[in-house]
Structure 1
Amino acid sequence: MSQTMETEEDLLTCLHVKLYHPQQTFRGFYHQLPLSNRRQHQADEPLRLGRDAQACTFTLADPKVSRKQLAFHAYRTPQDPGMLFTVQNLSQKGRMMVNRSALGYLERMDLPDKALIEFGGFEMLVVREPGEAKMSYEVEFHVLEVPPSTETGIAPQSITPVMETGSCNSSAYSLPGELACHGPLETDETLMA
């Protein structure tokens, strides 16, 4: 075998998981994670993240995180030589958002090359670095100093989008108070404002 031939280890896909929590400087959320250290993971096994060290591959030391919070599943398609991923919400009680879309208990979503995942006050930016390996991939955790939602342009779940119709000001419209601020209404062309 030639020494210049690339091995599977040279071509491993890597999931870069970048974490942020507003209270991370005061709490030891990440002391159980292998920060800035790539870890190899078998592609046929889900990569679980949560609070329980026995049930999860990696743990977050925060009581607001579910025992089993989420799982990444690797897969391949006949059309794409690269390894792709889905994320699954494993939390029965906690709300999880993926690129501003809610993901219910046991629901899965395909991950794009860059995704913002939010749960329990955490913002997690997941970036896929492509590779061609079939049996395993790598994962590397990083801590961010600023929320990734400010850099990605993806609004965090706590921000409410503004409707295209403008602000909701009951004095600007002649709608009854109970109807004034409850979201978009269909208009009837026969009503005059």
Structure 2
Amino acid sequence: MQRCTTPGFPDGSEPRCAQPACCSPALGRAATCQIRLPTASSHLASILSRAQHLRATALHTHRTHFIMTSFEEDETEETATCLHMTFYHPCQQDKMMFRCLNFCKREQVRADEMAKFGRDSNVCHYNLVDTRVSRIQFSLQFYRKLNSSEFCFEIKNMSKKTKLTVDQTELGYLNKVDLPWKCIICFGDYQILAEIQEGEAMDYFETHLHLAKVPILQERCLPSLQPVPEKGIFPSLSPSQGKSPIEIDENESC
């Protein structure tokens, strides 16, 4: 408790207490007023709270600046050229010759490596489990055209006994040709639909394999290749028509 001792003003006027209830004339005497002085603990708590707020603000500003700087300095993400390949063979359900191929996800291949398809799993990353397939059936080379930013694939027939066709182009042993952006590759009873999805990456490309349940030639090519007869009767196709020679024993069947 502390008595109010507010002095008078120099002009003689009566001062008014900051708390009139404690100095009211009705009390007949100077009332005592309670003045709450700030304690050291509350003052320290206020200082600590203010310091924590400033620290949190500074930390948030620093993190924001770091994130923005990192984002600005990151290299631009490049998309890779992707070769989609859809495989079909009439005996797949029984022979399972595609069982070693990865149809689940995309795979990255270094640009300086040659993608090889064939029977020999020690040489070919894309392994076809079929004794009639050559050790290396064909290979694909990723390259960039001269004086151009366009990326392409070159396909080479690596089989001495089996010819390979790319659309209507027939390739003998060691013959090679540029792969069109969309084409059908055939050798023996194998049909592969190849589609190129363009990208910018130079160090690698991707392959994405798919499995077809119906013949690709029948679904995509035969309607446009068959002549339309005048009387609406289509000529029958012989079983061997349109097939290339394959490596097969005389007594072996599909």
Output the TM-score relative to the length of structure 2: 0.57
Q: The residue matched to 1:81 in structure 2 has which SS? A: coil
Q: Name the structure 2 match of 1:2.
A: 71
Q: Name the structure 1 match of 2:85.
A: 17
Q: Name the structure 1 match of 2:170.
A: 102
Contact persistence 1:41–1:138 (CA under 8 A): yes
Bigger Rg, which one? 2
Contact persistence 1:100–1:154 (CA under 8 A): no
Q: The residue matched to 1:80 in structure 2 has which SS? A: coil
Counterparts in 2 of 1:94 and 1:80: CA distance versus 1, 3 Å: same
1:27 to 95, 104, 108: 95
1:52 to 113, 117, 120: 120
Superposition RMSD in Å: 2.1
Contact persistence 1:82–1:133 (CA under 8 A): no
What is the distance in 1 between the residues matched to 2:75 and 2:96? 43
What is the distance in 2 between the residues matched to 1:115 and 1:65? 21
Shift of 1:78: 4.1
Counterparts in 2 of 1:77 and 1:34: CA distance versus 1, 3 Å: same
Q: Name the structure 2 match of 1:165.
A: none
What is the distance in 2 between the residues matched to 1:2 and 1:148? 45
Which structure exhibits the higher relative contact order, with contacts defined as CA atoms closer than 8 Å and separated by 6 or more residues? 1
Give the 4+ runs in structure 1 shifted more than 6 A: none
What is the distance in 2 between the residues matched to 1:77 and 1:109? 13
Which amino acid in the other structure matches residue 207 of structure 2?
A: V
What is the distance in 2 between the residues matched to 1:97 and 1:154? 15
Q: Structure 2 matches for 1:94-173, cutoff 5 A?
A: 94-153=162-221
Residue segments in structure 2 that go unaligned for 5+ positions in a row:
1-69, 228-254
Q: Name the structure 1 match of 2:234.
A: none
Aligned length: 157
What is the distance in 1 between the residues matched to 2:186 and 2:210? 16
What is the distance in 2 between the residues matched to 1:23 and 1:141? 18
1:88 to 152, 156, 161: 156
Q: Between 75-84 and 59-68, report the one with greater CA deviation.
A: 75-84
Q: The residue matched to 2:219 in structure 1 has which SS? A: helix
What is the distance in 1 between the residues matched to 2:188 and 2:119? 12
Counterparts in 2 of 1:108 and 1:41: CA distance versus 1, 3 Å: same
Contact persistence 1:116–1:154 (CA under 8 A): no
Contact persistence 1:83–1:133 (CA under 8 A): no
1:64 to 132, 145, 152: 132
More strand by share: 1
Counterparts in 2 of 1:129 and 1:12: CA distance versus 1, 3 Å: same
Q: The residue matched to 2:94 in structure 1 has which SS? A: coil
Q: The residue matched to 1:150 in structure 2 has which SS? A: helix
What is the distance in 2 between the residues matched to 1:21 and 1:57? 19
What is the distance in 2 between the residues matched to 1:87 and 1:26? 29
Query: Percent of aligned positions with the same letter in both sequences?
Result: 33
